[in-house]
Structure 1
Amino acid sequence: MNTQSSFFKFLEQPYPFYYEGKKLMEISGMIFLIGMFFNYLLQPFDVNTAEHKMNYFWICVIHSSSCLPLLVGMAAVLKLFPKTTDHWKVKKEFVFILSLVILTGITQFLLRDIIYTNPDNWSWRYFKEEVLNTLIAGVFLAPILISINLHRRQLRNTLNANRISAAIHEAKEPESHTIVTIETEVKSEKFSFDSTSFIYAKAEGNYAEIYLQKESEVSKLIKRISLKSLETQLSGFSFIIKTHRSVLLNVNCIENVSGNAQGYKVQLKNCSETVPVSRNYIPSFEKETVSA
């Protein structure tokens, strides 16, 4: 029972979403190299060279690269659902990889006529064989790679979070009080506040929730304004930074920082809710908090 509980707890852990930008290209390259090593050097499956229409090296290249267009396409679809990628977990990573592996097996079956002379290329037998072979490789490698990366990221981010937490409690120069006026999408609803009272803001659809310190209490304003517009109007204040696609926060209001595989979780003063620091914003967050 404890083993089952630990497994489900493992699946629910936050996990970084890597399938975008430069990281996607790096992963594509790594998958190709692993595939070449697995197919060309280890040759784990039976090879009948009499059926080959081309050199075995080029067959390995085709097999190793067949998943790459699928990977890029699946990543592009996921990018249309930022709420899903923002809350990526180990179980989602497993489902993503399993889907990629199955689709790769189907693709390799469809490519058989290009590679082999076998008259039974389009048989049910070879369909099962291609899908099963890719599943074996995926099921063997995925848990190992995910576990290693999860623990590596958790350890690194936890150590860095402890360092940041220690740095933010050191003596700081007091902020200068400046009244800032924010223009919203509804001109009659513009509002003003003292810059030092800003705690954080988060996007909620077409609105932004803005949390301000009012004496000993925290007040919440809901305004029709995009986070991008709010960020632009607050750009003159270096202590207000973006830590996530949907979050702006005041680094001087940070109470504590904890780490997980995705990045950091920030506890703000007088707020019960924690806010995230996603992978793409970690460098700027570390720079501002350690030097603040």
Structure 2
Amino acid sequence: MDVNRCYRTNQKMDNKTSLSAFMDQPYPFYYESRKLLEILGIIFMIGFFFNFLLQPFGVNPDEHKMNYFWICVIHSGSPLLLLSCIALVLKLFPKTTDNWKVKKEFILILSLVLMTGITQFLLRDVIYNNPDNWSWRYFKEEVINSFIAGVFLAPVIISINLNRQQLRNKSNAHRISAAIHEVKEPQSNTIVSIDTEVKSEKFSFDSNSFIYAKAEGNYAEIFLKKENECHKLTKRISLKNLEAQLSSFTYIIKTHRSILLNVNYIENVSGNAQGYKVQLKNCTETVPVSRNYIPSFEKETTAG
């Protein structure tokens, strides 16, 4: 009995560990720019045809204040407005979206489903002639219907997309690592003077010694090769400003909203669902290549 109990306990612990590891995996953040518009369009089409063609939750035309077509438009359109608002709020927290994980995707979907159910309940007086519109019964019904429509699909969609992105990025990362070479020849005049937001802190370095830089608030941490080691400078300058002043050096590229790197220092590239991770020579820290910068990164690292 004790052996069986111990075995079951170990199984539960292993299951919890596996679930925790799955939820902590990096996941691409899609809710911005063109990708957001594509997602909104897909959600609307799925929601509309699900409601209009299947009529899954029962339809009583006597209660309708408008044509059923427009009722489906309202039901399918409300999640779009909610998701757009969520995306705008998340845009204010770039560090959160840069470090997006599977568990954050689940939380976002559950929040969207819950808010959609509440919104559908609040819209009942606009859509239906029913004296019980504001009853607890209909509140539960709208929330439960939203969860039925959304939650059961979420694990399947996330799992499929996670595996698809991982396989694709890992395969491409392997190809890039195999093709790594000195992408750009060192230039003869490589000493560059950088103007910072504080005039007295102007500084210079050899662009060939530049490994990478990352944004840290109003500052930039700049990593330079010095005696085969990675030496860090912290300067009051935005990454955008630094990028502009290094624009003449084509081997220095942006791979992330907060990262600039010298492609000649790439040692190895690995892939995950969000994009790539780059190991740089003379550095212990890896730096990311986010989804939006993958095309330009691949172009620079495989050209030649």
TM-score (norm 2): 0.93
Once the two structures are superposed, the pairs formed by residues 99-138 of structure 1 within 5 Å of their partners are 99-138=111-150
Deviation at 1:80, TM superposition (A): 0.5
C-alpha spacing 1:184/1:172, structure 2 compared with 1 (3 Å)? closer
**For residues 255 and 69 of structure 1, what CA distance do their matches in structure 2 show?**
44
What do the CA deviations read for 1:49-107 (whole angstroms, capped 9, x no partner)?
Answer: 22122222221111111111111111001101111111111111111111111111111
1:153 aligns to what? Answer: 165
Once the two structures are superposed, the pairs formed by residues 1-292 of structure 1 within 5 Å of their partners are 1-169=13-181, 174-177=185-188, 178-291=190-303
What do the CA deviations read for 1:241-268 (whole angstroms, capped 9, x no partner)?
Answer: 0011111000010000011111110000
Deviation at 1:207, TM superposition (A): 1.0
**For residues 173 and 179 of structure 1, what CA distance do their matches in structure 2 show?**
16
**For residues 241 and 259 of structure 1, what CA distance do their matches in structure 2 show?**
19
C-alpha spacing 1:175/1:39, structure 2 compared with 1 (3 Å)? same
Deviation at 1:172, TM superposition (A): 5.2
**For residues 55 and 208 of structure 1, what CA distance do their matches in structure 2 show?**
57
**For residues 25 and 216 of structure 1, what CA distance do their matches in structure 2 show?**
46
Deviation at 1:220, TM superposition (A): 0.8
**For residues 172 and 284 of structure 1, what CA distance do their matches in structure 2 show?**
13
**For residues 162 and 197 of structure 1, what CA distance do their matches in structure 2 show?**
26
- What SS does the corresponding residue of 2:254 show, helix, strand or coil? strand
Name whichever of 1-10 and 102-111 sits farther off.
1-10
2:10 aligns to what? Answer: none
**For residues 248 and 87 of structure 1, what CA distance do their matches in structure 2 show?**
18
- What SS does the corresponding residue of 2:225 show, helix, strand or coil? strand
Are 2:177 and 2:268, in contact at CA under 8 Å, matched by a contact in 1?
yes
2:5 aligns to what? Answer: none
Ranges in structure 1 where 5+ consecutive residues have no aligned partner: none
**For residues 284 and 105 of structure 2, what CA distance do their matches in structure 1 show?**
29
Q: CA RMSD in A?
A: 1.3
Are 2:183 and 2:303, in contact at CA under 8 Å, matched by a contact in 1?
no
Deviation at 1:108, TM superposition (A): 0.5
Deviation at 1:139, TM superposition (A): 1.3
C-alpha spacing 1:173/1:132, structure 2 compared with 1 (3 Å)? closer
Name whichever of 227-236 and 50-59 sits farther off.
50-59
TM-score (norm 1): 0.96
Aligned residues: 291
